[in-house]
Homo-oligomer: A and B are copies of this chain.
Amino acid sequence: MRSASDDRTARAVIRDEALRLFAAHGTDAVTLRQIAAAAGVSPALVVHHFGSKEGLREVVDQHVLDTFESMFAELTGPDAPDLADPATAGSMAESLVRHLPADSPIPAYLRRMLLSDSPAGRHLFERLFQLSRGALDALVEAGMSGPGADPDVRAAVLMANDLAVLLMRDQLRHVLGFDPLSGDGMRRWGREVLTMYSTGLLGSPGGEPTLPTSPTPPGPDTDPEASR
């Protein structure tokens, strides 16, 4: 529901409530009457402003995509944070929740877009893949990663690992007991991931006395084959 004093136009209120409901339950599961009720207007007004439910969905889609793009413009823009600095080199999912209020419905909405096979979802996924591909190149440039046997696949693996937290956020919170996208959760999750990225599963993290003997991984190979 909206508060009594709200400087947003009714159109904006409808759009925001639709975004919230779509993110929580999926576009198909939400009815025009639910949206209208949440926005405090009549169902007919929703259609009046957006033409149809599909029209509303497209406006919400674009609104979320615009937010997404403007948020990542500063990550790839002129003064982008240094990817080589492990303090700033967070995951894409982390960057997302860090730039948004904690109760923002946008991460959940992006999750639904990524899981759908709509054109918008595919476009978003391609954008993220480009982003990951560029990030891998930057890591290689900085000497923090090898290109792998197949750089495209390596970039996809890194992206998949990253997005997995966003996609399974609720289930992970349930089994782990904390939200992996909360401030504290991101630290705990990120520590394991960074350890894995830097030394693999066997690496010797500082301060773990109970580790088995094996001093350093054999490191038998780097890039046995060229990229395709």
Chain A 209-226 interface 0/1 with B at a Cβ cutoff of 8 Å (1 = within):
111111011111111111
Q: Which of A144, A148, A228 has the most CB of B within 10 A?
A: A148
Say yes or no: is A163 at the interface (Cβ < 8 Å to chain B): yes
Q: Which of B117, B148, B192, B226 contacts A192 (CB 8 A)?
A: B148
Chain A 188-202 interface 0/1 with B at a Cβ cutoff of 8 Å (1 = within):
110111011111111
Contact in complex: A157, B222 (CB < 8 Å): no
Copies in the complex: 2
- Give Cα A163 to B147, complex, Å: 23
Say yes or no: is A74 at the interface (Cβ < 8 Å to chain B): no
The residue on B at minimum CB distance from A26 is B28
Q: Which of B176, B202, B221, B226 contacts A144 (CB 8 A)?
A: B202
Say yes or no: is A115 at the interface (Cβ < 8 Å to chain B): yes
Contact in complex: B217, A221 (CB < 8 Å): no
Q: Which of B149, B163, B208, B219 contacts A164 (CB 8 A)?
A: B163
